[in-house]
Amino acid sequence: DQQVKQNSPSLSVQEGRISILNCDYTNSMFDYFLWYKKYPAEGPTFLISISSIKDKNEDGRFTVFLNKSAKHLSLHIVPSQPGDSAVYFCAASKYGGSQGNLIFGKGTKLSVKP
């Protein structure tokens, strides 16, 4: 039973446009959500997070939106750049911010075309 779902395995976007990556979760106990970015042959790197007490968090070109009633979060990248091409993982925690025991989605491969 997958508790964190990324239903789009891949996404292709033109440079300069918006990339929207989606993530759904089933466990209402999750209270902290994170996005990681992963390049081939490297470990994931932290991108942005959001606590369940907020519905939006912004960091430069990256914004994460959380809709608790729908158990849905999304990552917006504006404007998209070719260097953003990577696999993006959504992750959740139910330990009040503890990041040592994360439940990950299967990832979405983003391709940004010049």
Partner 1 sequence: KAGVTQTPRYLIKTRGQQVTLSCSPISGHRSVSWYQQTPGQGLQFLFEYFSETQRNKGNFPGRFSGRQFSNSRSEMNVSTLELGDSALYLCASSFGPDNEQFFGPGTRLTVL
Name the site residues for partner 1 (rule: CB under 8 A). 36, 41-46, 89, 91, 95-107
Shortest CB 42 distance to partner 1, Å? 6
Nearest to 28 by CA among 75, 57, 68: 68
- Residue closer to partner 1 by CB (options 66, 102) is 102
Structure letter (DSSP) for residue 94:
S
CA–CA separation, 60 vs 99, rounded Å?
Answer: 23
- We find the least distance from the C-beta atom of residue 21 to partner 1, in angstroms, to be 14
Q: List Cα–Cα distances, 52 to 16, 94, 97, 100, in angstroms.
A: 30, 10, 10, 18
Tell me the C-alpha distance between 6 and 8, whole Å: 6
Q: Which is nearer to partner 1, 10 or 14 (CB)?
A: 10
* Shortest distance (Å) from residue 25 CB to partner 1: 14
Q: Which lies closer to partner 1 via its Cβ, residue 7 or residue 14?
A: 7
